[in-house]
Amino acid sequence: MTQRVSARVPSTVRENILGTCATVLRDFGALHLNQPRIAKLSGVRQGHMTYYFPLKSDLIRAVIDRAMGELDEDLRVSSGRSVRGFFVDPSRVRTLLGLVVHADADKTAQTVLAGWLTSVQKRVAHACGRSDEGPGSEFALALLLGLGVLDLAHGRTLDPEQIRARHDHVARWACGPEAP
């Protein structure tokens, strides 16, 4: 992981840093998200990092805000194909897991992440044809997320269509009339 990571064309140094963080989180996971590595990969001095993000928690909160915005945009765009397919992409699951790990140590970040997950649950309820965000949609979200985590953890070698078919099957079952 010595190559320089390039994200979208940044408008500011701060955006460059955040873009690099999002790329590292998505491609390599939360373990690689630290200030010295991000400074090097984004091509800025460590002093710039601390100017824009005095504490690591400031950086993590900004990364969570940005990553949730990107994930939310992915969900919005994928809504035509349904929310189910969202959790098929290992990079999305890796990003979400990284955010959860960091939010566990930061209650403010945890609150922000919980709010985002509530909005995802509403989308799952809508995709399931439910009018509420009750236990049924929470169950469906948990199953879809869990399957995405299992696929990532097992390094599934299934092709994307096989994974998508499994996710669709789970979603149909979780959204069915017998679902909690």
d(CA 138, CA 14): 35
Q: Is 101 part of any domain?
A: yes
- Residues 107, 171 share a domain: yes
d(CA 23, CA 38): 10
Query: CA-based angle 29:34:35, to the nearest 5?
Result: 145
- Residues 95, 22 share a domain: no
- Residues 95, 37 share a domain: no
Q: Note the pLDDT of residue 180.
A: 47
Q: Is 151 part of any domain?
A: yes
- Residues 93, 23 share a domain: no
Q: Note the pLDDT of residue 42.
A: 92
Cβ contact 100:107 at 8 Å = no
Q: Note the pLDDT of residue 55.
A: 83
Domain tally, the chain:
2
Q: Is 131 part of any domain?
A: yes
Q: Is 8 part of any domain?
A: yes
Q: Note the pLDDT of residue 2.
A: 45
Q: Note the pLDDT of residue 8.
A: 43
Q: Residue 148: helix, strand or coil by DSSP?
A: helix
Q: Is 35 part of any domain?
A: yes
Cβ contact 24:38 at 8 Å = yes
- Residues 50, 69 share a domain: no
- Residues 112, 42 share a domain: no
CATH number at residue 38: 1.10.10.60
- Residues 68, 49 share a domain: no
- Residues 124, 68 share a domain: yes
- Residues 69, 41 share a domain: no
d(CA 84, CA 75): 10
- Residues 133, 47 share a domain: no
Which of 26, 54, 82 finishes a domain?
Answer: 54
116-129 b/e (C-beta count within 10 Å ≥ 16 → b)? bbeebbbbbbebbe
| Sign of the CA dihedral with 47 first, then 53, 54, and 55 last | negative
Task: Please list the pLDDT of the chain residue by residue as tens digits (180 residues).
Answer: 444 444 444 468 899 999 898 888 888 877 788 888 999 999 999 888 888 888 877 887 888 778 777 767 766 666 545 566 667 778 878 888 888 888 888 888 788 888 888 887 887 777 777 766 677 777 777 888 888 888 888 876 667 777 777 777 777 776 666 554
**Tens of pLDDT, residues 30-42:** 778 888 899 999 9
CB neighbour class for 40 (10 Å; exposed up to 12, middle 13-18, buried from 19): middle
154-168 b/e (C-beta count within 10 Å ≥ 16 → b)? eeeeeeeeebbebbe
Q: Is 180 part of any domain?
A: no
- Residues 110, 151 share a domain: yes
Which range marks the domain in which residue 99 is found?
63-175
d(CA 87, CA 133): 19
Q: Is 76 part of any domain?
A: yes
- Residues 138, 67 share a domain: yes
